Amino acid sequence: MVQKAETIWFDGELVPWDEAKVHVLTHTLHYGMGVFEGIRCYTCTDGGSAVFRLREHVRRLFDSAKINEMAIPFTEAQICDAIVETLKANRLAEGYIRPLCIIGTGVMGVYPGDNPVQTIIAVWPWGAYLGAEALEKGIRVKTSTFTRHHVNVMMTKAKTCGNYVNSILAKREAIAEGYNEALMLDTEGYVCEATGENIFIVRDGVLKTPPPGAILAGITRESVMLLAEDLGYTVVEERFTRDALYSADEAFFTGTAAEITPIREVDRRVIGAGKRGPVTAALQDAYFKVLRGENPKYGAWLTRYSF
């Protein structure tokens, strides 16, 4: 359950959580054309707080809107400021941030006409997305019977609300069969991504991750690639098949919500030693040091704030 905060930023104003409402004929509710972001903030070791890669997330929000021909009635700078304002108003030192842009009421039918674009920013406390133990012990994954979107069916570089029906179907299937997460293949049968995470495999000290294409090239994914190179690892963007995943030394998911989550099993095949491997552990350590403000090289990734 989402833990209720005090206020939500709604079209330029902070309103009480329970009063942040839309009409039942909101266009996005019927047809799925809306865009969103998932962002995290963390408590730093110096006692302050910071939003991780705020500007990059907000830029992607606007990119998603442009791809979907939605004109957000605010600037990127205004949304960045509004996110910090909302965190401060709710006195949230660590948690999750959800900006969302939707097409409001007006005409119905698939063509939205001149319906207004509305923007909300909600924040709430949130721990490990796949469970606290998952960060150490890893998770069990099932290859989904549902295929990830083709690049000319849905715009795969946009975080569009309706795109995630595909993820919901895959996640429900995996959970119903006793797994923690679903692995999705692209339309040619290559490993693509999970329902909301990117994937990496490790073999002989080399990291591989699917190239941009059908995947949403995640901000956490990019961060991990840079950190891995700092640690001396070779990182390759390359297509790979399920059998390459099955025989990997290690595998892990990355994402704002999932952070860096090890994969211990896929389709009943144990990955590596069946637990978090040394490369994954090293990357987790490096990643969380950045998030806590302990690596000055990546200080620009943090937007600091305090109450």
> Catalytic annotation on 289?
no
pLDDT of residue 133: 83
Catalytic, out of 142, 159, 171, 208: 159
Model confidence pLDDT, tens digit, residues 195-207: 999 999 999 999 9
Q: What value does the mean pLDDT take over residues 8-18?
A: 98
> What is the model's pLDDT at position 127?
77
Convert the pLDDT of each residue in 144-202 to its tens digit.
Answer: 999 999 999 999 999 999 999 999 999 999 999 999 999 999 999 999 999 999 999 99
**Residue 217: per-residue pLDDT:** 86
Bridge partners of 265, per DSSP, are 140, 270
pLDDT in tens, 87-143: 999 999 999 999 999 999 999 999 999 999 999 999 999 876 777 788 989 999 999
Q: What is the mean pLDDT of the chain?
A: 96
